[in-house]
Chain A
Amino acid sequence: QRVTQPEKLLSVFKGAPVELKCNYSYSGSPELFWYVQYSRQRLQLLLRHISRESIKGFTADLNKGETSFHLKKPFAQEEDSAMYYCALSFAGFQKLVFGTGTRLLVSP
């Protein structure tokens, strides 16, 4: 079980579209999450694939064919600047494996 986030840093201007990439490897049915860590704050859940929701304008679609769960937002805001972790849960939520994280920096 592995989660890959190829970009360590993603720097965009305010209002630009954002896509944070996440690929996973898991033979079973994956449960995928995006967690976010704002400056000086603890990790918190941003969204999970099973709920198919949009949080703070972010969406993520599970693509089983490409084994991807990319995080997208059409118009980035400065307050989106944070560290984003893609995570894979399995064994009935018994384990959660994190990717290496992508730092998103949104400039004015």
Chain B
Amino acid sequence: GAVVSQHPSRVICKSGTSVKIECRSLDFQATTMFWYRQFPKQSLMLMATSNEGSKATYEQGVEKDKFLINHASLTLSTLTVTSAHPEDSSFYICSARDRAPNTGELFFGEGSRLTVL
């Protein structure tokens, strides 16, 4: 099956710094990638939809200046948490959909755990 890789899997940073998380589709082209956030023992919350070559679409309540998303190619989307604070500590998961065929199935990365000290 299709593989999505996230990097890094774990990151610890100091408050005020920025952190970049990469999401790559390894064996398929993804025109659309999705970024989710998961709090402990809670469901996945969709943060934004990333479309290749255009601006990301953010869900209500998600600060676009805080969570910068770039989808520069058909295989790479990045999420940058700017000026991170402890409340940004969470598990971030990306997913991608194969452009062909479009079955609606999403392929998920392994997630990135961010801890802000």
Residue ranges of A at the interface with B (Cβ–Cβ < 8 Å): 31, 33, 35, 42-45, 48, 50, 85, 89, 93-101
- B46 cross-chain contacts in A, Cβ below 8 A: 95-98
Given A85-B43, A97-B46, answer yes or no on A42-B111 (Cβ-Cβ < 8 Å). Answer: yes
Report if B92 contacts A (CB, 8 A): no
Please report whether the interface of chain A is mostly helix, strand, loop or mixed according to DSSP: strand
Expressed in whole angstroms, the minimum distance between the Cβ of B101 and any Cβ of chain A is 11
Flag if B105 contacts A45 (CB, 8 Å): yes
B side interface size, CB within 8 A? 20
What residue in chain A is nearest B106 (Cβ atoms)?
A: A96
- A50 cross-chain contacts in B, Cβ below 8 A: 104
Interface hub of A31, A89, A96, A97 (most chain B Cβ within 10 A): A96
